[in-house]
Structure 1
Amino acid sequence: MFTTKSFIKKNKVGHFLKHVREHYLRTDISCGVPECKKCHSENTSSLTKPSNSNNCSIFNYDHYLILDTNIILDQIDVLEEPIISNVIIFNTVYKEVKHRSLPIYKRLNTIIENPSRCFFLFINDHHKDTFVPETAGELINDYNDKCIRQAIKWYIEHLPNKKFILLTDDTKNRQLAIADNIPAYTVRDYVQNLDKKSLIEDKLSRNDLHSASEEKELFPPHLNKIELLKGIKEGSLHQGVFRASTVNFLEGFVNVDDIKEPVLVQGRAGLNRAVDGDIVAVEVFSKEQWVSPSEIILEDEDVDEQEVEEKEEILKNSTVLESEIKPTGKIVGIICRKWKQYCGILKDTSDLGLYQIFVPANKTIPKVRIQTRQVEFLKTQKLVVTIDSWPRYSRYPHGHYVRALGLIGSQQTENEVVLLEHDVPYSQFSKEVLRCLPKLPWLITRSDEEVRVDLREFDICSVDPPGCTDIDDALHCRPIDNTDTLEVGVHIADVSHFIRPGTALDLEAASRATTVYLVGKRIDMVPELLSSNLCSLKEREERFAFSCIWTMDRQANILTTKFCKSIIKSKQAMTYEEAQLIIDDKNKTDAIAQSLRHLNSLAKILKKRRLDQGALVLASTEVNIMMDSETMEPLDVKVKKHFETNSMVEEFMLLANMSVAKKILDEFPDCAMLRRHPEPPASNFDPLVKAGRHLGFDINIESNKTLAESLDKADKSSHPYLNEMFRMLTSRCMLQAVYFTSGTLQKADYYHYGLAVPLYTHFTSPIRRYADIIVHRLLAVACGADRTYPDLLNKEKSTILCQNLNYRNRMAQYAGRASVAFNTHFFFKGKLNDEEGYVLYVRKNALQILIPKYGLECTLFLAKKGETTMFQYDEERQTQSADGVTFHAFDPVTVRLQLDSSNIQHEKFILQLVKPIIRGFSVPALNDLNDGDRTESNEKRKSDEESGKNNIKKNRK
């Protein structure tokens, strides 16, 4: 049986066409209730007799729950609790949830697919007795509510001995349901009357915690959706993504596509309740109202309302340099909230009763006001909280508690916080994924040997960091007989052999996109059987590889290039240091030693050639944290040491990536997966140019080549770390490199600014990057080594995949940094050190100090809270002066480094100036203190440390 719906539509040439849509109705759809004798179809429902569930004191009978769309969207945290069961979800609701929120739709599916939760999906819109036709001009929300009520009425008539309860927070829908004799309640009424309500009542989503009457309005109202869309269409408003400042809680930026520079927004009225990541509408002021970003560091820590107003006045009255002004505006509305679950702790307050302040771990997220009856327990825990609303009268958004992660200060808890905060998928691989793995023992068969080039006799070796188990690249180099040429090979693990398109394993790897490296922990993109075993190019183990082999002359000119699937057997796996020792030891003359020397010699030529073309050599503070193997506590923090062999491996990986990029673009001009690095806008280089000017260097940013040449010249023998700092500052001016599909951009936009090459991709790390797996598949098709499949050549799907890869890679990078930061803090607990450092930035109220020994960047405030600074700030020259001493960017200093643990959530380093000596501000060096002073200093440190520990203990009690 089916119904029909006709509609008239004009085609491109203006002719009217009649379209008919058929909607099939069925009589064999089961209601899902196990005792039903009327439904004769096979019952796959997980519903049970509700006698042991849904014990709500409002009713004196067993019942099934039926939910409307908004209950699922707003209360998914409650629905995930096991106490809620025997729930019937109508397909009308299910489809609308998918349309409005894909993340919540996925969470709902997880519940439905779990038989123990007893959730049943009823296809009401295709059932003969529950289908409701649409009325002309009817609003979609009204239609969906009508479908829900019709389906419940059918259930009540179908099973008169069973009870069905509708949960809806929509007043109109609830009243119409009651008029139809349908029991209907709000979710709050229902949850507050459950037997075990205290377990989930805190998880109720709240649009408001109390009445706004007689409250002071702190924010201007948002424009409604119609006004926002009209303003954007007319050009009076602009749409963009809001990014909160990491150093000033009263400042942020909106990245707008049609404005070259981010739009600066300041103060509470300018930020207007936007949260980092929200898509907002911004009104840009006229040019005479534009201002410069503040040079003040403002932290929202225990700041009362009066202090906030004072700080806003400081922002308003700050000097505006003509050369520093930025497009300035204010946020007038929120187009799309990007709120997610946030990790953090409760603020240590005892006088707020049910209402508590949640402090997120991410400093760019505002504190959140929640209501809880579990204060004493939750104060001991790291929590997950969700934002529900942000009223105009409330300084902070309102939200609700989701779950506890574990005790504050636990390393395991902190690792989970890092993963959650950066949206890293870290659950165990599912059974479906594991079923895709090859069975052990895995052996190379004769048919494998017939389709692959056998390179097992070649002197192939790998060079990696210490402790590396996911070895995905290896090298070889050998002279070609009777010629003055060399054969050079890069051999990459053939992961795509084991991960076939469309399988559960492939879909999981595509979703994860990258392996995430934390301190002492690795979150694999693919299961360990592949990452550390069958795909890892282990020493003296036969492995499948994808090989890129060049014939080169002694000047590193490529004569021929060949790609092939191969079988290799690595002769030796080395660390960078071990390979360097072999190269430097003249007594070593075996095949591996000679191969390494040839490779190193060619790599130097390749690198020089790249640099001559304008490739940038940048620097960053990468550190190694030595961990205790038993306690997993950090033993030492050291900056990573680099050898010539690091550069040797890097050069050949770069060369392989460039060679593969050319091959796949030639074969697939519209759908090759490539990697580009956009040129930064000139304004990004302002701090670099200014720092260079103060030190007598002209930093030319006209092109990457002129920039590279300027950086080479920015050096002083009297300042051994100066050039390194210039390169570090340059790296912070860069935009991020991104994956893209070739057919979506003009060829001029393929350029990789940092490498100074017109074409680039990622081919060399398929164990830890999904992009490389796609590139392997493209290359295999181009070489005739594998067959294609539809999604591989689908430009639209490739573009969506690239967006996920770019997001996941960025989050993995941030997660790694956060893990290093936490363990560095852990290492410094209880320590008091005087360290050499350099001024990285000069701020209006602080100096940003880089401490190279530990790769730390910390803030030296120039006055304590509430005190007047003795320093004079020169905004034009960007210097701070006091007592005859002037600080410029990159000046050397000695600072006392101490970890402040008094704020459990945001532990931070406290710096004191040791040298240069400024009377009334500097502190004496630890080496100059007598025993009494040293004891007093240590006692103060211990007191501060104990204060932090007591806070934790007090909370745990």
Structure 2
Amino acid sequence: MLKTKTFVKKTRRGNVMKIVRENYLRDDVWCGITDCQLCPQTAAVLNAKTTSSSSKFHFSHFLVPDTNIALHQIDILEDPAITNVILVQTVLNEIKHLNASVHKRIRDIVSTPEKCFYVFSNEHCRDTFIEREKEESSNDRNDRAIRATCRWYDRHIAKGFANDKLSKSCRVVLLTNDFANRTKADKENLLSCSVQEYINSLENNGELLDKLAVDSTYNSGDLTVETSRSFLYMEHLPLAKLQLGLKCEKYLQGKFSASRDNYLEAKVSLHDKNEQIFVQGIMNINRAVNEDIVCVEILPKESWTAPSSIVVDEEDADESEESTTEQVKVEKKEKTEKCGRVVGIIRRNWRPYCGVLSLSSNPQARKHLFVAADKRIPRIRIETRQAESLKGQKIVVNIDSWPRNSKYPVGHYVKKLGAIGDKETENELLLLEHEIPHLPFSTVVLNDLPAGDWKICDEEIKKRRDLRDIPICSVDPPGCTDIDDALHCRLLPNGNYEVGVHIADVTFFIHPGSAIDKEAMNRGTTVYLTDRRIDMVPELLSSNLCSLKSNVDRLAFSCVWEMTSEAQIVNTEFFKSIICSKHSFTYAEAQLRIDDKAQNDSVTQSLRTLNDIAKILKQKRIDNGALTLSSPEIRFQIDNETYDPIDVETKQLRETNSLVEEFMLLANISVAKKIFNHYSEYAVLRRHPAPPLSNYDCLIKAAGSKNLNIQVDSAKSLAVSLEKATLPDFPYFNTLLRILTTRCMMQAVYFCSGTLPEEDYLHYGLAAPIYTHFTSPIRRYSDILVHRLLAVTIGAIPSFPEMFNKKNTQEMCNLLNKRHHMAQLASRSSVDLHTQLFFKDRVSIEEAFVLFVRRNALQVLIPKYGVEGNIFLRETTSRSKFNEEEMSITIGDVTFKVFSKIRVQIKVDTSASKNRFVNIMLMDPYVPGLSVDEIDDASSVNSLQPELKTTNCLMNENDKGCICHFNPGLLTESTSPQIQSIIDIS
């Protein structure tokens, strides 16, 4: 049966468009119940022994959730106790439109046989399809469609199991929190209840009740109901008013980014504008949570201010919140920023949050505060009946709502991860917190892989240029198995050099639209943790068939230049090839080969020539204004059995690091030019925006404290200034200055060339007018996209429709930007975790440097371990003198400035029940001639240096030192595992 509906729709441009919708209705849609005597599909399902259908009368009832229940109570539906659920197609369609994440979770539940979830196609069933009535809202129509499905199931069960005694007692239960919907269901003689009533009817329901999300659509006297109690926040404007305000530019829309240093401050990055609005104070923040899309109203100019010089930790904010707020208010700033207040929320971007439970002082209380591991997330009030068992545990919590009369958002408990400080628990937490897809590859994905004994066929060899006789080699970090690049160099008869970069041809195995392609796109990048690697593609490809290991034939995509000895490019070629690497070097091994004059084989000579050319290429880049920045890089030695860190060392950079780096950069630039010249609207490129000049304020002040001038008007002048900024008696100074410069940089991002003007393509850090990623397709999906574009450009493969869709390409770039950034943060957090594990049974006193001076804290770096953190000056008094312009603070007779050298003690507080449990205590300012071995504890410092006893005013009375919470958020942007010295190459 065919249903046709015709209507007209007005477009954004004011045109009228006629739309015809056709709906094919059937009378043979299966109910999904095993043994049903009416449905013809039953016999086929039983013959196939399918177990994914709903079990017959398992609880003597079936559950039919409405859209709000499926959307807001997904944690309940995922619980093993909830089975035999009929999901109506109407509900699934609504959720797909409202929340893609929840829709995916529901599809995962449906594919789990033991859950017995079944999707019923009511919109295609003749007996359950209903038309929308005149003046009926779409929401009312959908509710009516769900009730119609419930009625059909009641009748169907009665007929389909007429001889079954249970059929008389079996009912379909409509789960809804909508009072009006329940009232109509009662009139239609349908069985319905709220989700809380249903859970209350189950035995051993304590954990289920904890997972119950607070649904504002159900007026049950819970926390979200806005009573007559006085409101704490301004009401959010409705969407219609926000849209009108945006249109007339009364309001501005942007992404809300909370500050890591002060939860009372945030910035809103405006959409389609390179501008940020500063928001300060809980009233102006108005219940916005990090990453929400919000509308802001610009405040009058006399109300503008600037970020405060106070570090406020939400985790410890209870005792000092009011005084801190007042301190922030009274700070007077000479320079102000454009300020605003949040007037409405366009889209919430809430996600599951990991952290710890802060128990109420009342032992009988059920309501407690949850403290997220992410410092930018406010504390969340939850209700739980298992508070004692959750003490000392890392847990996951979801936010449900944030009422105007509640100081904190209201949420619910989801699950327990494990004990605080446990390695596996903390690893799981950092993966969840950074939204890293880390489940094993599904069977569908693995089915796309070639056989394990796959060999390159003769037909494929004929299509490619055979380079197996060329002295090609790879240079990678120790233990690297996913080798995606190799190089060669050989002398040509005309005196020039042939230089080649050969990249694993991953796209030969991964085709557009395949299951493995979709999975790789969703993962976006391989994530490198300290003790493990989470692959973007299955190991058969990443460490075997695609990896350019030595002495085996491999498929490659080659970029080959003809160069002069002065690194002038005469010609560039791109082609598919087959190679056989002659040697897989580590950086150290390659350096030894270059330095060993006794070695003169073809591979060694190739390395030496590559090294000479790389030095010229690097100098050219630096002359053009490329930045060489720095970040603290350490490497852990891991125990082979326990995988715990047993020693730590600073990573050493050799010439061979720079050798690989230079040719990878050159290949990326060459490929970027090639694909852009052919497809100027559809090229996948990478840009690094120039930072606003205001970003350099802290750098200029820091250099000024040493009477040095840093020019920041261009990348070239900045690079020259950094090169000159040295102090003979302070060798580490230039490194510290480059670390500070890293803080000023913007994030590099992928984009589709057709979405931006060409002048915005610049990669600021590399001083390259155009750039992309081509050299790491095993571990970056962006490179796969570029490989496909390049292959079409040179005629290696035919074009495909997806590559000419700018909107789709930009959406993929947005996802890749997120995945790339989260992978960096996860890698950083893994280093943090292993630093904590390393200090679990040891105490160390080390040299540290002050990076930033704040009114109530010192931000310090411990170079030996790459550790950064805040030392809170908890007992500053009227004797404290803070000079923001000079970036210094004087307490008593001791002055701390940027780059001041101090001594700190690092240890683990195993009794802590907080997210961060590494403590750093200030021992003393640095005194020349005082060795680490002479200092055993805080008391020895005072006995050795009596003139420094005034530093006791900094110390916490209980700990005899300033507490420094180890702060992952302060760590610099990490670079790729292979490239360490250039900002944001990976």
TM-score (norm 2): 0.89
**Structure 2 counterpart of 1:173:** 181
Cα distance change of structure 1 residues 227 and 492 upon mapping to structure 2, 3 Å threshold: same
Mapped pair 1:32 → 2:40: no
Mapped pair 1:907 → 2:913: no
**Structure 2 counterpart of 1:226:** 240
**Structure 2 counterpart of 1:327:** 338
Matches for 1:481-492 after TM superposition, within 5 Å: 481=493, 483-492=494-503
**Structure 2 counterpart of 1:106:** 104
Mapped pair 1:436 → 2:444: no
2:130 aligned partner, one-letter code: V
Mapped pair 1:714 → 2:714: no
Mapped pair 1:540 → 2:539: no
Conserved? CA contact 1:433–1:508, under 8 Å: yes
Matches for 1:766-845 after TM superposition, within 5 Å: 766-845=777-856
Cα distance change of structure 1 residues 834 and 199 upon mapping to structure 2, 3 Å threshold: closer
Cα distance change of structure 1 residues 566 and 258 upon mapping to structure 2, 3 Å threshold: closer
Mapped pair 1:386 → 2:393: no
Cα distance change of structure 1 residues 934 and 901 upon mapping to structure 2, 3 Å threshold: farther
Cα distance change of structure 1 residues 118 and 302 upon mapping to structure 2, 3 Å threshold: same
Q: Whole-Å Cα distance in 2 between the matches of residues 15 and 766 of structure 1?
A: 45
Which of 872, 875, 880 is equivalent to 2:881? 872
**Structure 2 counterpart of 1:59:** none
Q: Whole-Å Cα distance in 1 between the matches of residues 564 and 895 of structure 2?
A: 55
Deviation at 1:895, TM superposition (A): 3.1
Which of 38, 52, 56 is equivalent to 2:58? 52
Which of 224, 235, 238 is equivalent to 2:249? 235
Q: Which has the larger displacement, 521-530 or 131-140?
A: 131-140
Deviation at 1:19, TM superposition (A): 4.9
Mapped pair 1:314 → 2:314: no
Conserved? CA contact 1:495–1:767, under 8 Å: yes
Mapped pair 1:702 → 2:746: no
Deviation at 1:317, TM superposition (A): 0.8
Matches for 1:68-467 after TM superposition, within 5 Å: 68-160=66-158, 161=168, 162-207=170-215, 208-209=222-223, 217-257=231-271, 260-304=274-318, 307-321=320-334, 323=335, 325-349=336-360, 351-352=362-363, 353-467=365-479
Deviation at 1:917, TM superposition (A): 6.8
Deviation at 1:707, TM superposition (A): 1.3
Q: Which has the larger displacement, 646-655 or 536-545?
A: 536-545
Q: Whole-Å Cα distance in 2 between the matches of residues 276 and 247 of structure 1?
A: 13
Q: Deviations over 1:863-897 (max 9, x none)?
A: 43xx5264311133222124454433223333333
3-state SS of paired residue (1:492): strand
Deviation at 1:16, TM superposition (A): 7.4
Q: Which has the larger displacement, 239-248 or 128-137?
A: 128-137
Q: Whole-Å Cα distance in 2 between the matches of residues 128 and 444 of structure 1?
A: 53
Q: Deviations over 1:884-937 (max 9, x none)?
A: 54433223333333444443322243231412479xxxx997615699959999
3-state SS of paired residue (1:22): strand
Deviation at 1:428, TM superposition (A): 0.5
3-state SS of paired residue (1:176): helix
Q: Which has the larger displacement, 566-575 or 4-13?
A: 4-13
Conserved? CA contact 1:914–1:924, under 8 Å: no
Deviation at 1:618, TM superposition (A): 0.9
Q: Which has the larger displacement, 199-208 or 751-760?
A: 199-208
Conserved? CA contact 2:315–2:375, under 8 Å: no
Cα distance change of structure 1 residues 11 and 224 upon mapping to structure 2, 3 Å threshold: closer
3-state SS of paired residue (1:582): helix
Q: Whole-Å Cα distance in 1 between the matches of residues 932 and 561 of structure 2?
A: 58
Conserved? CA contact 1:897–1:912, under 8 Å: no
Q: Whole-Å Cα distance in 2 between the matches of residues 589 and 51 of structure 1?
A: 79
Q: Whole-Å Cα distance in 2 between the matches of residues 906 and 405 of structure 1?
A: 16
Deviation at 1:487, TM superposition (A): 1.2
Conserved? CA contact 1:624–1:637, under 8 Å: yes
Cα distance change of structure 1 residues 155 and 585 upon mapping to structure 2, 3 Å threshold: same
Cα distance change of structure 1 residues 443 and 840 upon mapping to structure 2, 3 Å threshold: same
Q: Whole-Å Cα distance in 2 between the matches of residues 466 and 12 of structure 1?
A: 57
Q: Which has the larger displacement, 177-186 or 632-641?
A: 632-641
Q: Whole-Å Cα distance in 1 between the matches of residues 471 and 152 of structure 2?
A: 75
Deviation at 1:690, TM superposition (A): 1.9
Q: What is the percent sequence identity of the aligned residues?
A: 48
Conserved? CA contact 2:392–2:419, under 8 Å: yes
Q: Deviations over 1:776-817 (max 9, x none)?
A: 111122222222222123222211111111110011001000
Q: Whole-Å Cα distance in 2 between the matches of residues 10 and 226 of structure 1?
A: 18
3-state SS of paired residue (1:153): helix
Task: Count the aligned residue pairs.
Answer: 925
Conserved? CA contact 1:896–1:914, under 8 Å: no
Cα distance change of structure 1 residues 370 and 936 upon mapping to structure 2, 3 Å threshold: farther
3-state SS of paired residue (2:314): coil
Q: Deviations over 1:753-791 (max 9, x none)?
A: 111111111111111011111111111222222222221
Matches for 1:518-667 after TM superposition, within 5 Å: 518-667=529-678
Q: Whole-Å Cα distance in 1 between the matches of residues 879 and 695 of structure 2?
A: 31
Cα distance change of structure 1 residues 195 and 348 upon mapping to structure 2, 3 Å threshold: closer
Q: Whole-Å Cα distance in 2 between the matches of residues 609 and 464 of structure 1?
A: 24
Q: Whole-Å Cα distance in 2 between the matches of residues 675 and 109 of structure 1?
A: 34
3-state SS of paired residue (1:301): helix
3-state SS of paired residue (1:402): strand
Q: Whole-Å Cα distance in 2 between the matches of residues 857 and 10 of structure 1?
A: 56
Q: Whole-Å Cα distance in 2 between the matches of residues 631 and 202 of structure 1?
A: 35
Conserved? CA contact 1:625–1:637, under 8 Å: yes
Conserved? CA contact 2:550–2:583, under 8 Å: yes
Deviation at 1:548, TM superposition (A): 1.1
**Structure 1 counterpart of 2:741:** 730
Q: Which has the larger displacement, 572-581 or 646-655?
A: 572-581
Q: Deviations over 1:687-725 (max 9, x none)?
A: 112222332222222111111111112112122111112
2:21 aligned partner, one-letter code: R
Q: Whole-Å Cα distance in 2 between the matches of residues 17 and 935 of structure 1?
A: 83
Q: Whole-Å Cα distance in 2 between the matches of residues 932 and 319 of structure 1?
A: 39
Q: Deviations over 1:63-107 (max 9, x none)?
A: 111111000001111111222122112111111111111111111
Q: Whole-Å Cα distance in 2 between the matches of residues 364 and 445 of structure 1?
A: 54
Deviation at 1:137, TM superposition (A): 2.5
Deviation at 1:211, TM superposition (A): 6.8
Q: Deviations over 1:346-369 (max 9, x none)?
A: 225562532222221111112222
3-state SS of paired residue (1:548): strand
Q: Deviations over 1:803-850 (max 9, x none)?
A: 111110011001000110111122123433332222211111122112
Conserved? CA contact 2:393–2:417, under 8 Å: yes
Q: Whole-Å Cα distance in 1 between the matches of residues 58 and 28 of structure 2?
A: 29
2:405 aligned partner, one-letter code: Y
Unaligned runs of 5+ in 2: 159-167, 216-221, 945-954, 964-986
3-state SS of paired residue (1:205): coil
**Structure 1 counterpart of 2:699:** 688
Q: Whole-Å Cα distance in 1 between the matches of residues 637 and 733 of structure 2?
A: 28
2:239 aligned partner, one-letter code: K
3-state SS of paired residue (1:294): coil
TM-score (norm 1): 0.92
Q: Whole-Å Cα distance in 1 between the matches of residues 887 and 858 of structure 2?
A: 11
Cα distance change of structure 1 residues 287 and 513 upon mapping to structure 2, 3 Å threshold: same
Q: Whole-Å Cα distance in 1 between the matches of residues 533 and 19 of structure 2?
A: 55
**Structure 2 counterpart of 1:954:** none
